[in-house]
Amino acid sequence: MRNETPLATRMKKDLIKDDLAYVDSVPKSDLPEMEKLLQTSDSKGCLMRVFIGASESIPVRALGYVASAARVHELMPVEQVQIISVANLGSAVNGVDLETVRSQFKRFASVSRFMLRQNRPDLDDIFVFCEDTDANHQNIDDLTPVVAEVLRSDSSLRDNLSKRGSKHGGDFRAYTAAHVAYQDLPGLELRSVDGEVRNEPEQVVSIGCLQEKIFHMARNAICEKLKPTDLLPSIQVFTLHAAAPYFPANGGEQLLDDSFAIDNIEFGNGNPSTQRDMEHIRRFLERRPRDE
């Protein structure tokens, strides 16, 4: 008997139940775009993007984003996985030290590359590590009036975004505009850190933690004010990371510092949420998806 369930609905369920993917959900609003991708089953032109915030101290836990991306890539037709540092955005909006952030991301990229080569060498050419550039600031500036209009009409959304922005300083309106500029508009300028970057995607799959849900709501509201022809088709996948894994958790956790080595990862430390994220990395290191 033919299965009449839409491909996107089936894929969403598969992602959620897959412990290697570590996925919480896919927004209902993004399922039609996912259906288009799965109907064509052609990866050409579809990029996966994982944004790494401008962190001056990246925890080991951030490797979980790479682990999730590796598994989601295996389940969905994606041409390239781009792990992107928003160092320039963080320097401009949050006032972080650009060179410190760049140094941290290079270390993260190096450890991630080693991890992939040890556990998923078949994905080595699929993953690239890159950073944003100052050239993207104009799109952010152009979106600011639209963001202001949306937030004036939705005080609850404005208050929630303000609370999120206050954790890392800077202008939360500009940070919200950046989410649209980086994830929903074509022409994102990227500079390679490790690997050859493919630009001008036709479709993007974005992976982010649960805290990104409020920004996804804002993105949808803002995109409704823009011309559909100006937008880049996108699909959001939320991981089970309760908080962004590239910022240290309250109470401290193991960092990607000079003393770190892949064989001395500290499992079982930190709060329950951090421990759960670290177990996700352990599963990736101990078991290849195709060995299931």
For 23-72, the pLDDT digits (tens) are 999 999 999 999 999 998 788 899 999 999 999 999 999 999 999 999 99
How confident is the model over 147-178, as pLDDT tens digits?
999 999 999 999 999 887 666 556 889 989 99
CB 209 within 8 A of CB 277: no
Question: 264 has which bridge partners?
Answer: none
134: confidence class by pLDDT, cuts 50, 70, 90 = very high
Tell me, yes or no, whether 184 lies in a domain. no
Tell me, yes or no, whether 75 lies in a domain. yes
Provide the domain count of the chain: 1
Quote the CA–CA distance of 61 and 170 in Å, as a whole number: 25
Tell me, yes or no, whether 67 lies in a domain. yes
Give the residue numbers spanning the domain of 59.
7-134+190-210+227-280
Tell me, yes or no, whether 147 lies in a domain. no
The answer to whether the Cα torsion of 15, 21, 24, 30 is positive or negative is: negative
* pLDDT, mean over the chain: 92
SS3 (DSSP) at 20? coil
Place of tokens 């140094």: 103
pTM score above 0.85: yes
Place of tokens 């699909």: 235
Tell me, yes or no, whether 141 lies in a domain. no
**pLDDT reported for residue 292:** 46
Tell me, yes or no, whether 248 lies in a domain. yes
Tell me, yes or no, whether 57 lies in a domain. yes
How confident is the model over 227-280, as pLDDT tens digits?
999 999 999 999 999 989 999 988 888 999 888 888 889 887 778 899 999 999
CATH number at 52 reads 3.40.50
Q: Which two tokens stand for residue 100?
A: 């410190």
**pLDDT reported for residue 240:** 97
Length of the chain: 292
Tell me, yes or no, whether 128 lies in a domain. yes
